[in-house]
Every structure is written in structure tokens, then in C-alpha cells.
Amino acid sequence: MSPEPASSEVPSLRSLITGYETSQVIYLAARLGVADHLAAGPRTAEELAETLRLDTGALHRLLHALAALGLVSHLGGSRYAITEWGARLRDGVPGSLRAVAILSGDRSYRAWGGLLHSMMTGETAFRSVFGTGTFEYMAAHPEIAGFYNEAMGASAAERSAAVVAAYDFSRAGTVVDVGGGHGALLIAILSAHPAVRGILFERESAAVGARARIEAAGFGGRGTVEVGDFFRSVPSGGGLYLLSHIIHNWDDQRSGHILANCRAAMSRQAKLLILEQVLPERFEPSRAAVQAAMADLHMLAITGGQERTAAEYGRLLGAAGFTLGAVAATAGAESLIEAVPI
């Protein structure tokens, strides 16, 4: 029998096989609001079960698992308190990952269960499980769409500092954030560069939240929100066009439409900046490689898109009227891919 990879960055095979158990425990804690109900202080399993209308014995066993993971502290008997780490599962607090946990444990978990279908057909697992595409599904299920927007906002907030540190936005003039969600990245750019103006371009469902957040951050005078569909057109007049975690959602044909619409809106002096995880040309055991490979499979499971290598981005950009420029790593998992119009 061959030994497991020697790299200390790779978890044991058994822990990989049973990884879903941990993700489901965290999902249950987030969905049930355990962290929110422990925020005011320690409580017993019996008290929580009565408040949440749950079975006491089952909840007690879940709390044991959460304590073993370090998300709650077991104070003895049936009393539990939230930990600093577990507090990130609270709703609405800075750095909250509650929406990420719920989206991962519900929609994504179910879709990943359909990946065998993808292996046999090349089709998106989500459609085989739910009978529709992921964005159509969210349009029909506002609660899931809300978790999605919150999760994307949390992810954008986490990566914003790394992006702002890795690229000089000061000479952009006007940044057009295409598909910018609730505006976390654009807000970070406007905060770091007082001379820069911003346009966030989104669907109406996301634009409402984006307007509120931009105004609450104090950038209503420099940041505007426009509503539309990037498969049809994008706003013109920007000095820098930003696509953050957009292109990986789509296959080459639909990605090409988005890029072509950006090119049509841009002057020859403008630049395009794509923020995505760039796949390595060669995969070897490491945490970074695992993250990249799983991100690529996630696109197959959820949207039908894909992560790409730098060379693949070069070909995609070339077909849309761009020349690939620098590809710069950020402090996070993503890279900044700069392109200029031909």
C-alpha cells in the first residue's frame, strides 16, 4: 500500500473522507442561530432547546461536536458558552461567516452530491439536482439569494484589503465595478483613494443593498450604482473596469460576452482588472493546490463555470479584444489579472 503524501500541508486521508461531517455541524450551528443565542452569555442545552424548539438530546450532541471544534466552550454539565471563533457564526456582526456556512451547508452541499452526474456528462451538477440553473434558482428563492449576497459580501470584505494593497487604483479616475455585489471591494477602493470615483453595476436585486452600503460608508458623493445586465452592456466612461469573481462563474462563451461588452464600453486608454483564483499549470500536494482544485470543482458543481490558468485567461481575453498584461498575486488566494484593449 502506498503511503499518504508526506507534505504536512495535506490532511490525513480519513479526515478528507469525513470532511462533510464538520461542514454539516457548522451549517447546523449557523442555521439554528446557536451563536446568536449564546451571545448574551452561557446557557444550558435545555434552555437552548426550549428557545429553539429542538430536541434536547440531539442538540446536546451537536453542542458536544461544536465544543470539540472550538466553536463553543463546554463549561461542564449541560452549560455552554460561545468562543471568539464561534462568534463569527453570529448574524450581522463584523466578519460574520454565518451566511457562508448556511449557503455551503445547504445549496452547495446538495449540489456537490450531484457531481457524479457532471463526471459522466460534463453538465453542471446544480441543474441535475435542482432542475434549474443556480441564478434562476436564487431568483425563485429569495432567502437563498439573501444568504448568497451576504456570503459574497463577506468574502469580498475579507479580500478587499489584499486587493487594495496589491494594485495602484489611484490613477484610475473612475472604477466601474461590474457585478460588484453589495460594494465591499469598491468601498475599500474609494476609502483608500480619495480622488477616485466609482460606479457599481449590478442587477436590481443586489443594487438596493449596494446603494445602502455605499451611502452608509459615506461615499454617496463619489460612488453611484447603476442597474443592468452585463450580458447586454456595461456603463461606459470608466478608466478601470473591475471584474471580481465574475468570469469564473461562466463558460468561455458567456465569459467572452461579458468581456466583449466591457471592451465595447472602454476607451483605448482604459484598463480591465480581473480578480480570480488562477490555476497552477501543475498540481502538487499543498493547501494552495487543494484550494484551487476545489474552487474549480465548485464552479462545475454550482454554476457551470471554471477556474482558469493564466494562459487560458490570455486566450479568453485575446478573443474579446484585449492583451493580457501583468498577473499579480495578492496576499489572499486570488490574483489580479490586468488587460488592456487592443
Cβ-count burial of 37 within 10 angstroms (0-12 exposed, 13-18 middle, 19+ buried)? middle
> Cell triple for residue 247?
468570469
Task: Note the pTM of the prediction, 2 decimals.
Answer: 0.87
> Would 320 be classed as within a structural domain?
yes
Is 248 one of the catalytic residues? Answer: yes
Looking at residue 274, what is its pLDDT? 98
> Would 119 be classed as within a structural domain?
no
With cut-offs at 50, 70 and 90, classify the pLDDT of residue 221. very high
Domain boundary among 91, 122, 142: 91
Q: Is the dihedral of CA 151, 157, 162, 167 positive or negative?
A: positive
Q: How far apart are the C-alpha atoms of 324 and 312, rounded to whole Å?
A: 10
Model pLDDT for residues 150-207, shown as the tens digit of each residue: 888 778 778 898 999 999 999 999 999 999 988 999 999 999 999 999 999 999 888 8
> Would 118 be classed as within a structural domain?
no
Q: How far apart are the C-alpha atoms of 285 and 266, rounded to whole Å?
A: 41
With cut-offs at 50, 70 and 90, classify the pLDDT of residue 17. very high
Looking at residue 9, what is its pLDDT? 52
Report which secondary-structure segment, H or E, holds 146: helix 142-166
With cut-offs at 50, 70 and 90, classify the pLDDT of residue 1. very low
Domain that holds residue 24: 14-91
> Would 102 be classed as within a structural domain?
no
Candidate from 84-98, 136-150, 217-231, 248-262 with smallest mean pLDDT: 136-150
Q: How far apart are the C-alpha atoms of 244 and 261, rounded to whole Å?
A: 16
Domain boundary among 66, 91, 116: 91
Residues 77 and 214 in one domain: no
Residue 107 has pLDDT above 50, yes or no: yes
Residue from 182, 193, 248, 298 carrying the catalytic annotation: 248
> Would 137 be classed as within a structural domain?
no
> Would 128 be classed as within a structural domain?
no
Domain CATH code at residue 244: 3.40.50.150
Domain boundary among 39, 56, 91: 91
> Would 337 be classed as within a structural domain?
yes
Mean pLDDT, the chain, whole residue set: 94
CA distances from 134 to 44, 111, 140, 216, 258 (A): 39, 10, 10, 30, 18
